[in-house]
């Protein structure tokens, strides 16, 4: 009988683990409570692939960050998502801060980070002319990069599905049955799964899932981070700008986003466990970001604000990842994915499959002979030459009809996103970037809903923005 594995949580970690597992011959299920992949922490973070100097040597963070960073290049080619190494600066304003830069450099070298350099004021300002002229120096890490986190998760899941993954959306785990010290069954609001191995990638809810299995308890400490996003006309910085870090967090940053915007944030607000799902932006949080970023770039102009948003991070007391087998045989934790979780994820996926499952649990896995490693993204005009796009349109004229004009997303892409699993407006938006431009869906939302209604064969007023409460319309004007 085939080995049965259930991964709980389709965030960046669960998605990449699923993709890694889909290389092997087994029965694989990915269970996700939200209507789509990557809607937890994965959807709202700084989108940085960190260099790895910030993590204390010897921690899992340190180990997996550097390894993960190295894997992103090839991963982005296999899964066809956007990734760019634009480098990062940690800037120092005082002598004390400069000493911290030296510490970080030291740490980085111990962790195996390549090409770290301390830059003096002149070189720093020549690279980043908008920085506060009173900066003294920076730690430059050329291996740092940016990506679109939910795209990584979505592309990993699409690839895994092509290789046999069973994806279960809108499904919430209610019970995990353990018999004679081994994990046996996972019960959800939709069904039951007999399993041999359960991998807990449930993000801010990982402690709840661990409790269900009766594994050693731990606490996930929710930490909210608010962000401000500036539109593509704000040209502020060329690489990622960090202030000198504190013990608690990397601080409030300024960085380019992979599609040309500028991201400011995050704040770091520790919330009680009861507020795990509180994703509200606050007056205080927004003010804090403005103040911190004006210190880094005094000429920052808030007239180009596109939007604000908040994300939740999963912090733990020991400030490190919780990865490993537990006293419940077959139940594996991959939790506490605080920064640099996104960066570390590809390396963690390999570790879970190679070390934890095969070595620690002694479960032999057989590689598939026909694993298909490449996934292609939805065709988009900005990635093609004009002649090439002409061919795309010839094959399917819907790729010639623009729906989101700000981001040049065509009807063909909307239809393809629905084919690939989008059932909500957010599902379409996150897969195509429709509605994410300057007009924020002003011109395209109704048309997207119309296309979705047509393709899915459901009344337009039943389509939700994301979850079941997020209705968009309320009945007809005239019956």
Partner 1 sequence: MKKEKVDVLVVGGGAGGIAGAISASRYGVKTLLIEREDRVGGVLNQCIHNGFGVLVYGEELTGPEFLFKLLEESKGDFEVRSGETVLRILKDEKVVITVSKRGITCYEVGALVVATGARERPFSTLMIPGPRVSGIYTAGVVQKMVNIYNRLPGKKAMVLGSGDIGLIMARRLKLEGVDVLGVIEIKDEVGGSLRNFVQCLRDFEIPLLTKHTISKVHGNGRIKGVTVVEVDENFKPIDGSGKFFEIDTLVVSVGLIPQNQILEGLVEFDPINGGPVVDDLQRTNIEWIFSAGNSIAIHDLVDFVYEEGVVAGRNAARLALGERLPRRKLKLVRGKNIGVMVPNYLTGDENRVKMYMRVRKTMEGGELRVQGGRVRKYNFKVRPGQMLDVVLDVGRLSFPTGERIESCEVEFHEDRASR
Partner 2 sequence: MKTELRDDVVEMDLICVVCPIGCSIKLRAKDGKVEIVGNRCPKGYEYAMDEYRDPKRILTTNVRVLNGDHELLSVKTDSPIPKRLIWEMMRILKNIRIEAPKEVGEIILENVLNTGANIVSTRRIMRRKS
- 247 near partner 2, rule: CB under 8 A: no
Alpha-carbon Rg of the chain, whole angstroms? Answer: 23
CB of 279 to partner 1, least distance (A): 6
Which range in 98-106, 124-132, 190-198, 471-479 contacts partner 2 by CB under 8 A? 471-479
The whole-angstrom separation of Cα 163 and Cα 221 is 35
The whole-angstrom separation of Cα 444 and Cα 410 is 10
Q: What residue ranges bind partner 1 (CB under 8 A)? A: 228, 278-283, 285-286, 305-309, 381, 386-387, 389-390, 393-394, 397-398, 400-402, 405-406, 408, 438-443, 445-446, 450, 460-461, 464-478
Task: Between 387 and 479, name the residue whose CB sits nearer to partner 2.
Answer: 479
Interacting partner of 281 out of partner 2, partner 1, none (Cβ under 5 to 8 A depending on kind): partner 1
- 479 near partner 2, rule: CB under 8 A: yes
Interacting partner of 282 out of partner 1, partner 2, none (Cβ under 5 to 8 A depending on kind): partner 1
- 95 near partner 2, rule: CB under 8 A: no
Catalytic residue among 29, 50, 89, 168: 50
- 477 near partner 2, rule: CB under 8 A: yes
Bridge-based pairing state of the strands 331-335 and 253-256: unpaired
Instruction: Return contacts of 285-290, CB within 8 angstroms, 24+ apart.
Output: 285/224, 285/226, 285/310, 286/226, 286/228, 288/226, 288/252, 289/226, 289/227, 289/228, 289/252, 289/264, 289/265, 290/228, 290/264
Residues 6+ apart with CB under 8 A from 9: 31, 32, 40, 200, 201, 202, 203, 205, 206, 209
Task: Between 109 and 446, name the residue whose CB sits nearer to partner 2.
Answer: 446
The whole-angstrom separation of Cα 464 and Cα 476 is 16
Task: Between 43 and 325, name the residue whose CB sits nearer to partner 1.
Answer: 43
Interacting partner of 475 out of partner 1, partner 2, none (Cβ under 5 to 8 A depending on kind): partner 1
CB of 80 to partner 2, least distance (A): 40
C-alpha dihedral over 43, 411, 75, 18, to 10 degrees?
60
- 386 near partner 2, rule: CB under 8 A: no
CB of 223 to partner 1, least distance (A): 17
CB of 415 to partner 2, least distance (A): 22
- 475 near partner 2, rule: CB under 8 A: no
Q: Which of 366, 445, 418 is nearest to 22 (CA)?
A: 366
- 478 near partner 2, rule: CB under 8 A: yes
Only one residue has tokens 């084919």, namely: 419
Helices 60-79 & 341-351 angle (0-180, nearest 10): 90
Token pair listed for 187: 């019960």
50 is catalytic: yes
The whole-angstrom separation of Cα 254 and Cα 239 is 9
Footprint on this chain of partner 2 (rule: CB under 8 A) = 477-479
Catalytic residues: 50
């Amino acid at each position: 009988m085939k080995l049965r594995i259930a991964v709980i949580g389709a965030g960046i970690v669960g998605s990449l683990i699923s993709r890694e597992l889909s290389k092997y011959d087994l029965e694989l299920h990915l269970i996700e409570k939200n209507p789509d992949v990557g809607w937890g922490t994965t959807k709202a973070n700084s989108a940085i692939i960190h260099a790895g100097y910030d993590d204390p040597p010897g921690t899992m963070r340190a180990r997996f960050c550097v390894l993960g960073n190295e894997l992103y290049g090839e991963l982005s080619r296999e899964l066809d998502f956007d990734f760019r190494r634009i480098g990062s600066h940690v800037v120092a304003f005082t002598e004390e801060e400069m000493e911290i830069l030296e510490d970080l450099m030291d740490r980085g070298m111990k962790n195996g980070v390549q090409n770290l350099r301390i830059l003096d004021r002149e070189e720093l300002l020549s690279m980043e002319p908008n920085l506060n002229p009173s900066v003294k120096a920076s730690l430059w890490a050329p291996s740092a990069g940016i990506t679109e986190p939910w795209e990584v998760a979505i592309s990993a899941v699409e690839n895994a599905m092509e290789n046999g993954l069973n994806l279960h959306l809108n499904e919430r785990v209610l019970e995990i049955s353990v018999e004679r010290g081994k994990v046996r069954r996972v019960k959800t609001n939709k069904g039951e799964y007999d399993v041999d191995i359960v991998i807990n990638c449930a993000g801010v809810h990982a402690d709840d899932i661990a409790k269900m299995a009766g594994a050693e308890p731990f606490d996930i400490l929710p930490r909210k981070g608010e962000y401000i996003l500036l539109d593509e006309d704000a040209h502020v910085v060329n690489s990622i700008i960090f202030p000198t870090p504190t013990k608690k967090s990397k601080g409030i940053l300024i960085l380019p986003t992979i599609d040309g915007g500028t991201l400011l944030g995050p704040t770091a607000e520790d919330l009680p466990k009861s507020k795990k799902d509180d994703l509200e932006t606050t007056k205080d949080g927004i003010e804090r970001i403005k103040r911190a970023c004006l210190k880094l770039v005094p000429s920052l102009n808030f007239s180009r604000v596109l939007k604000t948003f908040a994300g939740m991070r999963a912090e733990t007391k020991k400030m490190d990842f919780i990865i490993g087998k537990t006293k419940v045989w077959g139940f594996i934790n991959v939790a506490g994915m605080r920064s640099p979780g996104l960066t570390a994820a590809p390396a963690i996926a390999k570790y879970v499959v190679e070390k934890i499952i095969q070595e620690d649990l002694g479960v032999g896995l057989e590689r598939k002979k026909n694993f298909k490693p490449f996934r292609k993204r939805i065709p988009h005009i900005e990635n093609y030459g004009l002649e090439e796009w002409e061919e795309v349109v010839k094959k399917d004229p819907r790729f010639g009809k623009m729906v989101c004009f700000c981001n040049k997303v065509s009807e063909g892409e909307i239809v393809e996103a629905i084919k690939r699993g989008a059932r909500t407006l957010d599902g379409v938006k996150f897969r195509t970037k429709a509605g994410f431009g300057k007009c924020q869906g002003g011109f395209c939302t109704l048309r997207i809903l119309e296309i979705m209604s047509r393709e899915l064969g459901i009344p337009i007023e039943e389509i939700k923005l994301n979850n079941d409460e997020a209705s968009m319309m309320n009945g007809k004007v005239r019956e």
